[in-house]
Structure 1
C-alpha cells in the first residue's frame, strides 16, 4: 500500500468499527440490568496497570506483530482495550475488589477470581458481538460471503455460550460462593514487565501434547469449550502474573499437574507463550518496539492459529500446512522474565 491507500484503508476500517460498536450497545447494563443510554468505556486490562507501561499516553496493540503495513498498531490509554456493555456505576463497583494492586498482591478469594472471570467473559462477548456486527456491515458493502447466514449462526452460538458463562461467574461473585476456582500460578514479580494482558484462552493441547479442547468441534452443540484465565499486569515497580480456572473446566487439571513439576522460569515461559499464541487483547510498551518489529518468530506466531499457518487458513499457497513447523515457547522472547523488565531497559 502507498500512503494514500493506507489512509483510505484506515478511514474505512475506523468508520465500519464505529458503526459496528454503535450497533451492539445493549439497552440495559449487563451487570445490574438497569436501562441505560450511556455506557461506560470499560477497560479489559485495568487502566491503572496500562498507565505503568504507556509512553506519552500511548501503547502498542497486538496488531503491531501481524500488521505489515503498521496501519493501526498504537492506541491511547483512553481507548485501549475497551468494551461497552455495562454502566459507569457497575464498572466502578463490581470489579473494585480485584482492580487494586494491594488486593492482587494478597491472597485471592473466589470472589476476586470470579470478578476477574466476569470481566474476561464480557471482553469475549463484546468482541464476538463486534465481529458479527463488523462483518455484517462489510457483507452489506461487498456481498463477499456466499454463506453469510451460516457464519452468523455459528457466531451467535458463541455469543449464547458466553452469556451462559457470564451468568455462571457473576453468580459466584455476587453470592460469594467459594471452593470453585483452582489457581495454577500466582506470583508478584519484583520487576515491571513490558506487556499487559487480562483475558481467557482456550488451549488445544497442553505442553506435553495432552488434549484439552476440541477447538474444531462444530457438530456437537452440547460440547463445552474450557477456558483458562490469565493476568499479566505491570505495576509501578512490580508485576502480577496469575493463571486459574474453574473446576468445572476440569481438563486444565493436566496443566496444573504439569506446572507443579516445572521451575518458576519455565512457568513464566509457558504463560508468555500462551498469551502470545492464543490471545489478542494484549498491549506492549513502545520501549520494546524494536524487538516486536524485528523478531521473526513473534511475527510468525502472530499469524498462527492452533499451530497452523496464515491464521489457520490452509490452502495451496501454504501447502495446506504440510511441513509447517509451529513456533514453540522456546523460540520467542519471554516478556514475563526479568530480562525484559522495563526497570532495566
Structure 2
C-alpha cells in the first residue's frame, strides 16, 4: 500500500510540473486559459462541438499553441526522460557496472549511425527507426563480444568507449559524404538533439516503442537484483540468466533506438538518473527502476523547458544535458566517494 501511495505521489508530481511548464513560452498563456482549453479539449472528444464553441469565443490561436505545440512536447519530454532513466538503470544492473549507460556502451552511437544512414538515403520514419534499432543492437553486441571472457567489469566500459568512438567516426564519414546544402544541415541539427518533433505519426510510433520497452523492464524490475549476483549464483535460483539478459537488452535497446530516431542523441541522462534514484531510494533495483522513470521524466521536463526558454533560439538538448548532467555526476561522485550498485 505504501508503494502504491509513493507511485501515485510521484505521478501527481509529474502531472503538476507538466501543467506548470505548459505556461512557459514566448506566447503568454495564463493557467486559467490552459485549464479551460484542456477541459474543452476533453469535452470536444466526446461531443461534436469545437473548442471555440464550448468556450463561447474564438481561441483558435491559443488552442493551436497549447494543444499542437506545447502539450505534445511536454508529453514527449515525459516519455523520453522516463525511457532514458529506466534504460540506464537496466543497463547498470545487467552489466553490474555503475558507469554503464546507453551512450557509454555504444548503443546511442550505434543507433545514431543507423538513423543518420537512413536520413542520408531519405528513408521513411519506420525504416529509420528499424535502422536505428538494428545498429544500436549491433553496437551493443560488438561491445559484449570484445569484452567476452574478461573478468574485469571495466573491460565492458572500455569496449563500449571503443565501439562508441568507431560509430562516431562512421557518423562523421556520413556527414562528410552528405549533401552540404540539404542533408548535412538536417543531420547536424538532428544529432544535437531536440524534442521539436513535427510529425505526430512519428511521435506516436516511437512513443509506442519506448512505452513497450519501459513496460518490459518494469515487469522484470525485481529480477534485476538477481542479475547483480554472479551468474552461477543466479542460475542456482532457477533463473535463465542468458535469456533474461537478452530480453532486457532488447527492451533497453528498443527504447534508445526509438528515442534516437526521433530526438537525436541525448547523452548523460541515462547515466546520472539511476544514481539520483539510488541516492534517494536506496540500492534495491526493484525500486531504482520505477523511480528512475519518474526522476528521468522530471529531469527531461526541466531540461526541455530550459532548452526552449533560455534564449530566442532553441538550445539543443544534448548541450544542456551535458552542462547540467556533468556537475550532477561530479556531485554524486563526491557524495558516494566512488560507485556501487
The normalised TM-score by structure 2 is: 0.26
Q: Which has the higher Rg, Structure 1 or Structure 2?
A: 2
Give the structure with the higher percent strand.
1
Give the structure with the higher percent helix.
2
The structure showing larger relative contact order (alpha-carbon pairs under 8 Å, at least 6 residues apart) is: 2
The normalised TM-score by structure 1 is: 0.26
